[in-house]
A = this chain, B = another copy of it.
Amino acid sequence: MESYAGYRGLAAELLREAGVSVGDEVEVVKEGKSYHGFLMARYEYGDPEVIVLKLGNGYNIGVKAVYGTRVVKLTASSQPSFKPPPPPQPHPGLPHVAVIGTGGTIASRIDYRTGGVRAAMTAADLVSIFPEIAEIANVSAEVLMQVYSENLTPSHWTWVAERIDQLLRQGVDGVVVAHGTDTMGYTAAALSFALQKPPKPVVLVGAQRSSDRPSSDAATNLIAAVETASKAPFAEVVVCMHAWHSDDMIYIHRGTRVVKMHTSSRSAFQSINSQPLAVRTGTGLKLLTADFHRRDEDGYVFNPTFDEHAMLVKFFPGMKPETLTILVEKLGLRGVILEGTGLGHVASSFVPVIRELTGSGVFVGMTSQCRYGRVNMKVYDNGRDLMRAGAVPLDDMLPETALVKLMWVLGRFGGKPAYEDVKSLMLKNICGEIGARTLPQPPPS
């Protein structure tokens, strides 16, 4: 059942039939009583069958739609709910940063008259919401798509990568991608492989709390992202998000190393098995490493294709080995990333199945569900048996990054690639996804 301005069921049906939109003046008649006001969107909490009206006195009222309820449209919303500001004046001498919207809550505004949320992704919107941006860069902005990030697929990664490639070739000084936070880590990894050694920084940014909330991280994150895109000495795909409790500390994470580590905290994003590239505080951008691809350095390679016939499988006690065979057969998989235990193990009952799969050319890569550290399958008998069966230990690569990389590697080869070709590309460090040094996990809180 489709949502209608956030309404569902009978309420959605009544509103659709009456042809009313959010902001329209309506009359709702229920059980002999008549309610008169402006229709509000039902965009967050609450019963989606309760029609919400803003009354003349400014208060809202909810009317639960029941059989017999009538909705009458009186007048259409007389004015746009939000008057767009005039386009910002370009400042000569400032760098040009292109902002691409893909969805998410970083730059949305709530219309307080109707309760609706709309994406604010024209350059004018951005500058009017976040005026500091105009002092950093001349911004152009576009909404490429409006998708909740959990609905993004590898085809969307390709689409975003293609647009970034166009912008880079047009000579922008940096690109900012506004993105929902749920799968931002996956997209960052995907763009890292698709846009290798780009000439300018490609900066993903999101907000854990939308810009209408007082605790929002939208402004600080977006300003840091625009600054990174325009000035940072590194030109890699990075994620720019709130670092820790303090409001003025933002981390810039390498795209292949970053994971959303908390469902709701503003400082949810962390670099795993790696330091962030830089930190931005009140005094500007401070580099945390010298090991990066530099702005305007040569070597740009654009390869935006992903093959979706790959899967991430998290092992658990009692998992049946035939799970792998079933998935490979039924979904036509060409590769599997296992998220094993500890140093990279699954039950030894998986050895014959893995031997069979790798023998038939299906790549099987091993990562760890421990989150921190690197796999080492040489320590125990079982690990060695799994390796002999063809499972490939993927060092300290994150499981999520390993999956994205596998989709990208399979996309490189037409038809059925040789196992050894896939393996050797998977083991080659392409954009910082494999590291040399084992780092500890952060201290317990």
Contact = CB atoms under 8 A, between A and B. Distances in A.
Interface stretch (A22-30, A89-97, A261-269, A425-433): A261-269
Interface stretch (A166-174, A191-199, A345-353): A345-353
A187 B186 CA distance: 31
B439 A317 contact: no
Contact of A261 (B376, B385, B403, B441): B441
Given A152-B317, A445-B442, A263 B346 contact: no
Interface stretch (A80-88, A106-114, A128-136, A334-342): A334-342
Contact of A45 (B243, B260, B344, B378): B378
B244 A444 contact: yes
Interface of A: 3, 6, 44-45, 48, 148-154, 156-157, 181-183, 186-187, 243-244, 251, 260-265, 267-268, 270-271, 276, 306, 308, 311-320, 322-323, 326-327, 330-331, 339-349, 368, 370-376, 378-382, 384-385, 400, 403, 407, 438-445
B382 A148 contact: yes
B342 A331 contact: no
Contacts of A262: 370-373, 440-441
A271 B443 CA distance: 12
A44 B48 CA distance: 62
A297 to B, nearest CB: 28
Q: What copy number does this chain have within its complex?
A: 2
B318 A381 contact: no
A188 to B, nearest CB: 12
Contacts of A308: 318
A374 B265 CA distance: 10
A260 to B, nearest CB: 5
A372 B368 CA distance: 18
B312 A316 contact: yes
Contacts of A157: 317
Nearest to A384: B48
A270 B442 CA distance: 10
A151 B372 contact: no
B441 A443 contact: no
Contacts of A378: 45
Contacts of A440: 262, 265, 267, 445
Contacts of A187: 317
B268 A370 contact: yes
Contacts of A265: 372-373, 440-441
23 contacts: A3-B385, A148-B345, A148-B348, A149-B341, A153-B317, A154-B318, A156-B317, A183-B317, A186-B317, A243-B444, A261-B371, A262-B373, A263-B372, A263-B376, A268-B370, A270-B444, A316-B400, A320-B331, A326-B326, A327-B327, A440-B445, A442-B445, A443-B443
A390 to B, nearest CB: 14
B150 A382 contact: yes
Contact of A370 (B3, B260, B344): B260
B438 A445 contact: no
A48 to B, nearest CB: 8
B382 A151 contact: yes
Contacts of A186: 316-317
A333 to B, nearest CB: 10
Contacts of A381: 3, 6, 148
A255 to B, nearest CB: 14
A309 to B, nearest CB: 10
Nearest to A251: B444
Contacts of A375: 263
